[in-house]
Copies of this chain bind each other. A is one copy, B any other.
Amino acid sequence: MLASNFTARRSLCVAARRNASSASAALFNREPAAPRIRTTSLPGPEAQAAVSQLDRVFDTRSLNMLVDYDQCCGNYLADVDGNVFLDVFSQIASIPIGYNNPALARTASSPSMVSALINRPALGNFPSRDWAEILSTGLLRAAPQGLDQVFTAMAGSDANETAYKAAFMWRRAQERGSADFTDAELSSVMLNQAPGSPNYSILSFSSGFHGRLFGSLSTTRSKAIHKLDIPAFDWPVAPFPKLRYPLEAHQAENEAEEHRCLRETEKIIDQFRNPVAAVVIEPIQSEGGDNHASPAFFRGLRELTKRKGVLMIVDEVQTGVGATGKLWAHEHWGLTSPPDMVTFSKKAQAAGFYYGDASLRPNKPYRQFNTWMGDPARALIFRTILEEIERLRLVDNTSSVGGYLYSRLDSLSRQFPDEIQNLRGKDRGTFIAWDSPRRDAIIKTAKSKGVNMGGSGERTIRLRPMLIFQKHHADILLDTLEQIFKSA
């Protein structure tokens, strides 16, 4: 009843077809048929007035659009001037199953949600009676193979940082065995000095992005602007393979490059002045420009980290939850032994890390702890997201729509080789990107034609549609790109 009351108010966007059995059925049957641009320029007059108001109290220099969320529906984003955009950026890859999704609306207006919002627990001390059930029917149902425990967090940065903390505690436990902390550790740690605060490190890869707080930012290597003026730990960076495209044409050379990067990584693990406790890596480097490596590279990294006694943390903050045609992108690798930890956020709308090994629970309580330890309200949302992914077979959807989208982009790239360079993301669902020498202009023009896209790296256009992105949406995107390229 709560949900129907809610849905009635939002006439724009109502229930998905229950019998959607093929990927081509509409998943939102009141979605607009196409984008609609009403103002002669962007931002429109309403937005301009409202932004200057907002800027008095909130930095608006990174603002892209002032959104009327009540008017958004499915894959479509509406601004305050009544312009409606096909959204293939999805709040920086973080909207999973569409704006004003009716199933999420039901969950969001349920008594359980109200309770979660108004009785926010300190989860480590006072979890709710149904927390085990919420975890096992939600977050843990999504757990990658081989990992059956979860530590909940708030966003991608602290998901990674709590994983790093687990790695450091694990590493010291290997050395310390069952011995207790020494007096030297107990006193030096209060002064931030070794041995209590050891000079261990996390190895990350060039162009990687893992967040913006102090530990995660020390592993982020995407762009200087993300890091400038902020103190950082003396942690090592290894080269991420720079593959040449098309892959088929550069197989031997790309293999050699990946071997070189693995050898370099091994050398750093062996020699870096601050011992490496863990390696963190994205399956596809997203903020850094959608850089891919082959499954063989990642299998090699798993083998190397095992051999060196270094943990492997797979950062699936952006790649996780279905967009690559698998629930987790690292499922594409065919690992024989799972990563030690997998972090998540964004499309999960909740955050944290999965792990499999009880040795990653520290030896004492209150070492991996904080007041809220995540948010049960967001865990409830993720459970519904997973249910919808299963009910509507959305991972299959990203796989098939992604295949279609990639092949048409591939054709376009042959037609407009200057516009679409280094197309990548084959067999990776809708997680597709290419380089564009005039990237920012293309994104701006696409927006004026009603398609909201995003960039990454120095000159990459990355597609990050939602899991409900279908063939007819892909056609709108493709036709818009073709128009832009033709009129260039």
* A69→B376 CA distance, assembly (Å): 12
B215 x A214 contact (CB < 8 A): yes
A200 proximal to B (CB < 8 A)? yes
* A122-B92 contact in complex given A117-B377, A135-B57, A168-B231, C-beta closer than 8 Å: yes
- Say how many copies of this protein the assembly contains: 2
B230 touches A165 (CB 8 A): yes
Q: Across the interface, name the chain B residue whose C-beta is closest to A47.
A: B129
Report the separation of the CA atoms of residues A68 and B126 in the bound assembly, to the nearest whole angstrom.
Answer: 10
Smallest Cβ-Cβ distance to A71: which chain B residue = B129
Q: Does A372 contact B (CB under 8 A)?
A: yes
Map CB proximity to B onto A145-165 as digits: 1 under 8 Å, 0 otherwise. Answer: 000111100111110011011
CB-defined A-B contacts under 8 Å, sample of 13: A2-B2, A57-B135, A57-B148, A63-B127, A69-B129, A72-B119, A92-B122, A92-B371, A100-B118, A105-B114, A185-B224, A213-B214, A225-B367
Which segment, of A187-195, A391-399, A419-427, faces chain B? Answer: A187-195
A381 interface contact, C-beta 8 A: yes
A161-B54 contact, Cβ under 8 Å, with A67-B128, A120-B94: no
Give CA–CA (A214, B381) in the complex, Å. Answer: 28
Apart from A181-B228, A190-B206, A233-B233, list 11 A-B contacts with CB within 8 A: A54-B131, A57-B140, A100-B119, A169-B230, A172-B228, A172-B229, A190-B221, A192-B218, A196-B224, A196-B228, A226-B366
| A61 contacts chain B at the CB level, 8 A cutoff | yes
Contact of A126 (CB < 8 Å), options: B2, B10, B67? B67
CA distance A94 to B225 in the complex (A): 35
Contacts of A213 on B, CB cut-off 8 Å? 157-158, 161-162, 213-215
Q: Tell whether A235 is near chain B: CB-to-CB under 8 Å.
A: yes
Query: Which of A58, A72, A80 lies at the interface centre, i.e. has the most chain B CB atoms within 10 A of its CB?
Result: A58
Cβ contacts A184-224/B at 8 Å (1 or 0 each): 01100111110011111100001000011111101001001
The contact size tier of chain A is 35 or more
Instruction: For the complex, give the distance between the alpha carbons of A91 and B368 in Å.
Output: 17
Q: Which B residues are in CB contact (< 8 Å) with A448?
A: none
Task: Contact check, B121 vs A91: say whether CB atoms are below 8 A apart.
Answer: yes
Of all chain B residues, which has the CB nearest A53?
B132
B215 touches A126 (CB 8 A): no
Cβ contacts under 8 Å, A196 to chain B: 224, 227-229
Determine which of B5, B129, B369 lies in contact with A67 in the assembled complex, contact meaning CB atoms within 8 Å: B129
A115 contacts partner chain B, Cβ-Cβ < 8 Å? yes
Q: Is the CB of A1 within 8 A of B5?
A: yes
Q: Shortest beta-carbon distance, A219 to chain B, in Å?
A: 9
| A189 cross-chain contacts in B, Cβ below 8 A | 224, 227-228, 232
Q: Is there an interface contact between B224 and A181, defined as CB atoms closer than 8 Å?
A: yes
The yes or no answer to A326 lying at the interface (CB within 8 A) is: no
B50 near A129: Cβ-Cβ < 8 Å:
yes
When distances are taken between beta carbons in the complex, the residues of chain B under 8 Å from A291 are: none
Interface status of A45 (Cβ within 8 A of chain B): no
Q: Does A111 contact B (CB under 8 A)?
A: yes
Which chain B positions have C-beta within 8 A of A121? Answer: 67, 69, 91
